[in-house]
Amino acid sequence: MPAEAQPGAGEGMSAGDGRKPLLRALGGEVVWPPPLWLMRQAGRYLPEYRELRAQAGGFIRLCTTPELAAEVTIQPIRRYGMDGAILFSDILMVPWALGQKLRFAEGEGPVLEPLRDAASIAALQPEALRERVEPILDTVRLTRVALDLHAPRVALIGFAGSPWTVAAYMVEGHGSRDFHTARGMAFSDPTLFGRLIRTLVDATTDYLVAQIEAGAEAVMLFDSWAGMLPPSQFRRWVIEPTVTILRNVQRLHPSVPVVGFPRLAGPLIGEYVQRTGVSTVAMDTAMDPRFAASVVAPNVGLQGNLDPPALVAGGAALEAETRQILAAMRGRPFVFNLGHGIEKVTPPEHVAQLVRLVRSGG
Amino acid sequence: MPAEAQPGAGEGMSAGDGRKPLLRALGGEVVWPPPLWLMRQAGRYLPEYRELRAQAGGFIRLCTTPELAAEVTIQPIRRYGMDGAILFSDILMVPWALGQKLRFAEGEGPVLEPLRDAASIAALQPEALRERVEPILDTVRLTRVALDLHAPRVALIGFAGSPWTVAAYMVEGHGSRDFHTARGMAFSDPTLFGRLIRTLVDATTDYLVAQIEAGAEAVMLFDSWAGMLPPSQFRRWVIEPTVTILRNVQRLHPSVPVVGFPRLAGPLIGEYVQRTGVSTVAMDTAMDPRFAASVVAPNVGLQGNLDPPALVAGGAALEAETRQILAAMRGRPFVFNLGHGIEKVTPPEHVAQLVRLVRSGG
């Protein structure tokens, strides 16, 4: 894996500082040009991924076969030499490991047997989680060994979905524009919904700790549907559970950066960061980086937030959007990323253009 | 139509002030208890609507048959005595009036023949719009006569979609979680996309002015997908076109309140209000009312923003959410509303509970 031979890999380090640039920035240091990685960088826009996925025999199979999942995790590093490799997996592997039926239907997205009542929530199997995620932890171990050998400047990022977002899928049973059922249960039966959230807080904590102990050097909490909640519910179902997870993970592993991604939190991003104590907060595409910088303490990292369609467009649009973000973030602890997952139709050469641009520091 | 006989209709007026409470609040006066209306209050949660729609023979037919559309507009007023009646129509009636093929497929939402190139954008027929929207203007006239006769405290609200949101549908061809094609065109061919936006700025201006001249006493611009854009694109495709529409509408009708609804604009709501000069800004479900109050000038109205699932839930959840909004808005020019359209599964008696709560002032 010739990642280290890639021009630019590992740039941005001060001479004599041996720590990985991504971990320094996620931990609150200013590193410039900023380190970068891209959400869903291991994915369908890469021909080598599509080829491997076609052979793997299903998405869950791919996520639970360590050799394949590790290879997919490393593919974008080999091509572009990003500063971070994110574990190839899915936020719904936690419900799957809790015993909820899950399948990934081609072209249709994930389908879960929906949880709608106390009995189905009580039937979840938290005691089974640790064993069921073992193949995913093996992926972490394998990937870490490969990176240490071939790309020692690249940090390995583990992740999980946040309780609110994962619960929304578990109750709804599938992706949704509105998650009416889940939002309805949160209002009409907060006791029952709270029981599901507590199960997920514990499972997520254990899962992240296990990823760290298997070799993940930073972890990220994806709360893709945080922005669906009004402020009172955002505090109850997004902030409070995240506070508990962070406290428990950081008690055991105080030096591992935790990235929070409360997507579409809007003006509540400042309160989220202050209450949860995340090391870095990821900005979604709609977030004005200058606003985030004005409400987030200067020793907390920011990550983001290029709009994926600008990466599809490439050329002048990509350059203008990228330069604006870099200009707004100069002087901050910052990690360049997208504000949402990379699109399937992204031309791989546009990713190369973006990496060059960011490596030049704007 | 016994709306005036409803308890609470017209409450909140100072003695001796003959102007409608909704228009006073939308124009920037403090009126307490606040006037209220609900987005999609004329709609599928009402049995009398479902009955009428089943007889109408299609959604476009319903929107372009003035007697039916006026009846639907008035139905919720008759039941609940809200302070505003919003024209029953759809934001896609503008593309339809510009000659783009449109159908509303049952259970599937709107389907448009997508615009993807210069030729299809050039083929739009702005010169035909005024004649094609004539039945909608007749609905405005009819509704206004009925309200003046039977519910003289209720204000009639006209509306249109904002250019960005309407263009997103026109390019995509249907509703979408991501509107990838439209966002892609805005980045990759801003000249072409700008031509579509300019056509829509002119059409929307003419359409709103015509609604006002037919009897609408306030107008609202729905920008449902404003939050999909990163800040640079939000300024270009949301704020700039809205500035032009407002300037032209207000030049002709300076005393008619204009409500802007830049959904999911997040922290950019302050800049949106300041630049566009809207009389009132509608807050989406994710907006913290206290944040909005802190960045919007005190003489600009705020409207919103109960989460629709709380109205579905009813009971204690509805009461708690409603009281929080009222407490945050006390002392501001404010109109109570939802933060998104009412859900089809909303029990009609929960709407009655909400109206009583708001009429009590929290």
Angle at B277 between CA B271 and CA B281, to 5 degrees: 70
Q: Which residues contact B14 (CB under 8 A, 6 or more apart)?
A: none
Decide if B317 and A187 are in contact by the 8 Å CB cutoff: yes
One-letter amino acid identity for B19? R
Query: What pLDDT, on a 0 to 100 scale, did the predictor assign at position B17?
Result: 61
- Tokens coding A118: 């106390």
Q: Which of A14-28, A181-195, A308-322, B28-42 has the lowest mean pLDDT?
A: A14-28
Mean pLDDT of B186-192: 97
Cα dihedral angle (B47, B49, B50, B55), rounded to 10 degrees? 130
Mean pLDDT of A155-173: 98
Share of chain B above pLDDT 90, in %: 91
Map tokens 């009126």 to a residue.
Answer: B31
Length of chain A: 362
Find the CB nearest A291 among B183, B267, B288.
B267
pLDDT grade for A85, boundaries at 50, 70 and 90: very high
Find the CB nearest B286 among A177, A227, A339.
A227
Query: What pLDDT, on a 0 to 100 scale, did the predictor assign at position B106?
Result: 77
Give pLDDT tens digits for B43-65: 999 999 999 999 998 999 999 99
pLDDT grade for A17, boundaries at 50, 70 and 90: low
Mean pLDDT of A20-42: 98
Give pLDDT tens digits for B234-270: 999 999 999 999 999 999 999 999 999 999 999 999 9
Check residue B36 and report its DSSP letter. Answer: B
- Mean predicted lDDT score pLDDT of chain B: 94
Nearest CA to B85 out of B12, B146, B5 is that of: B146
Are B158 and B218 contacting, i.e. CB atoms less than 8 angstroms apart? yes
Query: What pLDDT, on a 0 to 100 scale, did the predictor assign at position A108?
Result: 79
Quote the CA–CA distance of B228 and A284 in Å, as a whole number: 10
Residues of chain A contacting B233 with CB distance shorter than 8 Å: 307
Q: Chain A closest CA to B294's CA: distance in Å?
A: 11
User: Is pLDDT above 90 for B108?
Assistant: no
Query: What pLDDT, on a 0 to 100 scale, did the predictor assign at position A18?
Result: 81
Query: ipTM for the complex?
Result: 0.91
> Choosing from B45, B80, B169, B272, which is the catalytic residue?
B169
pLDDT grade for A362, boundaries at 50, 70 and 90: confident
Are B293 and B280 contacting, i.e. CB atoms less than 8 angstroms apart? no
pLDDT grade for A338, boundaries at 50, 70 and 90: very high
Q: Which residue of A has its CA nearest to B286?
A: A230
Give pLDDT tens digits for A133-155: 999 999 999 999 999 999 999 99
> Choosing from A24, A53, A183, A359, which is the catalytic residue?
A53
Query: What pLDDT, on a 0 to 100 scale, did the predictor assign at position B7?
Result: 40
Find the CB nearest A286 among B177, B186, B229.
B229
Q: Which of A181-195, B34-48, B105-119 has the lowest mean pLDDT?
A: B105-119
Chain A residues bordering chain B (beta-carbon distance below 8 Å)? 175, 177, 180, 183-184, 186-188, 190, 227-234, 264-268, 285-289, 291, 305-307, 309-310, 312-313, 315, 317, 320-321, 324, 339, 343, 345
Query: What pLDDT, on a 0 to 100 scale, did the predictor assign at position A8?
Result: 41
Give the CA diameter of chain B.
58
> Choosing from B45, B49, B53, B183, which is the catalytic residue?
B53
> pTM of the predicted model, to two decimals?
0.93
Give pLDDT tens digits for A251-277: 999 999 999 999 999 999 999 999 999
Query: What pLDDT, on a 0 to 100 scale, did the predictor assign at position A10?
Result: 41
Give pLDDT tens digits for B319-330: 999 999 999 999
User: Is pLDDT above 90 for B4?
Assistant: no
B44 classed as catalytic? yes
> A104 forms bridges with which residues in the sheet?
A110
Give pLDDT tens digits for B199-226: 999 999 999 999 999 999 999 999 999 9
pLDDT grade for A306, boundaries at 50, 70 and 90: very high
